[in-house]
A = this chain, B = another copy of it.
Amino acid sequence: MPTICLVGTLDTKGREYAWLRDRLRDLGCEVVLVDAGVGRAQVDADVGNDRVARAAGAEVEALRAAGDRGAAVAAMGEGAAAVLAELHGAGRLDAVLAVGGSGGSSIAARAVRDLPIGLPKLIVSTMASGDVSPYVGAKDVTLMYSVVDIAGVNRLSRRILGNAAAAVAGMASVALPAGAEDRPLVAASMFGVTTPAVDAARERLEELGYEVLVFHATGSGGRALEGLAGSGLLSGVLDLTTTELADDLAGGVLSAGPERLTAAGAAGVPQVVAPGALDMVNFGPRDTVPERFEGRTFHVHNPAVTLMRTTAGEMGELGRRVAAKLRGATGPAALFVPRGGVSALDAPGAAFHDPKADEACFEALSDGLRGTAVEVEELDLHVNDPGFGRAMADRLHRMISSGGAK
């Protein structure tokens, strides 16, 4: 019997959750009802709001007394995430279902964010016909638009809620068909200026029997890669294009956040990494570049995209950051350094050619990884020389093979 977790604000949506609970039981599911509201619940919860708040280091009475809705939503979302992680760890979580407006949707989105890809996550929301990126992020969250405010179970909401219950019951009850024929999966990070490198690596990996998922280093792409790296679905990561870290450092528009380049290491997934496109920070049209960067080196890629060359100081800091992240990896990791340049623009005669700045990065990488288990491979090649991507691919294959491919 599958277990569905219902996460909601039982002070305002108690009746709807009670209906969903009964409906899911009728459909043959076990239900764990988690109260993420700070008011008095209209229905008995299996996990009370006091326990949810405490899982986030808060007290429900204090949250209620403070009267700060945003703070309450944040705390109860954190707490619900901790409760779900515990249920999942105990094998008591096959799907999550939530119903809410903006507050309830935010709580539910936070609650499911760290669950693995493939575990069904359905949110019925009044907010699901607009910008849902705050709720979905980089995870396989499913949003069902409620059309009207969910207020009571009536002729209309019964259809919406009934569909939602049937959908999660269906997803939780059905075993995934075996896919023995699947090839092992590798994720690779790419940018326009590193495309030849990733193409060469991908070609080699496919020869070796892998399936390669390519993520564009657009911020959301890097976040998706990170989310996937922690999902247990990847055999390895070919993180050739770590450029989003430059945007994170300098304030560009394509940052994937400071946690980029950490998920594979945390999950023990083999990774081969390069400082691809660390020579550039991304902005929009030229006139949107912040004034503080006047005097820097720019390249107008097209009317909508302006690139800024990273300085030697920034390159050194990026080298230190990449090294620190790799030192923290719990699985095998190797770093490949393309001494001939890190992007198509970082080549003799091209706009961002600056060997001194690159050297600051390479030195910091080498210094930061000396004496660690992370092997540093310095190649006298440009990143886009086919031999570079191929060498990274071969190394990743050796790592995966020696650890046993998934």
Chain A residues with CB under 8 Å of chain B are 23, 26-27, 117-118, 120, 122, 128-133, 136-149, 152-156, 158-160, 162-163, 166-171, 173-174, 176-177, 179, 182-185, 211, 213, 215, 220, 224, 227-228, 231, 233
Asked if A140 contacts B162 (CB within 8 A), the reply is no
Q: Using known A-B contacts A130-B133, A137-B129, determine if residue A177 contacts B156 with beta carbons closer than 8 Å.
A: no
Asked if B142 contacts A136 (CB within 8 A), the reply is no
Q: Using known A-B contacts A117-B159, A167-B171, A213-B156, determine if residue A140 contacts B133 with beta carbons closer than 8 Å.
A: no
Q: Using known A-B contacts A140-B160, A147-B228, A155-B233, determine if residue A220 contacts B129 with beta carbons closer than 8 Å.
A: yes
CA distance A222 to B161 in the complex (A): 22
CA distance A215 to B148 in the complex (A): 8
Chain B contacts for A137, CB-based, 8 A: 129
Q: Using known A-B contacts A136-B145, A147-B227, determine if residue A163 contacts B211 with beta carbons closer than 8 Å.
A: no
Q: Using known A-B contacts A169-B170, A211-B155, A213-B156, determine if residue A141 contacts B132 with beta carbons closer than 8 Å.
A: no
**5 A-B contacts (beta carbon < 8 Å):** A122-B142, A141-B144, A142-B167, A162-B177, A168-B170
Asked if B147 contacts A23 (CB within 8 A), the reply is no
Nearest Cβ distance between residue A142 and chain B, in whole angstroms? 4
Asked if B129 contacts A130 (CB within 8 A), the reply is no
Chain B contacts for A160, CB-based, 8 A: 117-118, 140
Chain B contacts for A176, CB-based, 8 A: 158-159, 162
CA distance A5 to B258 in the complex (A): 43
Of all chain B residues, which has the CB nearest A220?
A: B129
Asked if A156 contacts B23 (CB within 8 A), the reply is no
The residue that A144 contacts in the complex, of B142, B156, B182, with Cβ under 8 A, is: B142
Nearest Cβ distance between residue A157 and chain B, in whole angstroms? 9
Residue picked from A146, A170, A227, most chain B C-beta under 10 Å: A170
Asked if B166 contacts A171 (CB within 8 A), the reply is yes
Asked if A228 contacts B136 (CB within 8 A), the reply is no
Q: Across the A-B interface, give the 6 residue pairs with the lowest CB-CB distance, nearest first.
A: A170-B170, A118-B159, A129-B136, A167-B167, A166-B174, A142-B144
Chain B contacts for A136, CB-based, 8 A: 128-129, 145
Asked if B182 contacts A147 (CB within 8 A), the reply is no
Asked if A163 contacts B220 (CB within 8 A), the reply is no
Asked if A170 contacts B166 (CB within 8 A), the reply is yes
Of all chain B residues, which has the CB nearest A23?
A: B177
Nearest Cβ distance between residue A237 and chain B, in whole angstroms? 13
CA distance A133 to B129 in the complex (A): 5
Known: A26-B177, A117-B147, A140-B163. 11 other contacts (CB 8 A): A23-B177, A129-B137, A129-B141, A132-B143, A136-B145, A148-B228, A149-B213, A156-B185, A162-B177, A169-B174, A170-B170
CA distance A185 to B154 in the complex (A): 8
Asked if B142 contacts A143 (CB within 8 A), the reply is yes
Nearest Cβ distance between residue A215 and chain B, in whole angstroms? 7
Asked if B131 contacts A163 (CB within 8 A), the reply is no
Asked if B138 contacts A129 (CB within 8 A), the reply is yes
Asked if A171 contacts B174 (CB within 8 A), the reply is no
The residue that A146 contacts in the complex, of B122, B140, B144, B184, with Cβ under 8 A, is: B140
CA distance A169 to B170 in the complex (A): 7
Asked if A211 contacts B152 (CB within 8 A), the reply is yes
The residue that A156 contacts in the complex, of B163, B173, B228, with Cβ under 8 A, is: B228
CA distance A36 to B54 in the complex (A): 51
CA distance A149 to B215 in the complex (A): 9
CA distance A64 to B211 in the complex (A): 31
Q: Using known A-B contacts A156-B233, A171-B166, A173-B166, determine if residue A147 contacts B185 with beta carbons closer than 8 Å.
A: no
CA distance A43 to B158 in the complex (A): 37
Nearest Cβ distance between residue A350 and chain B, in whole angstroms? 29
Chain B contacts for A26, CB-based, 8 A: 177
Asked if B220 contacts A174 (CB within 8 A), the reply is no
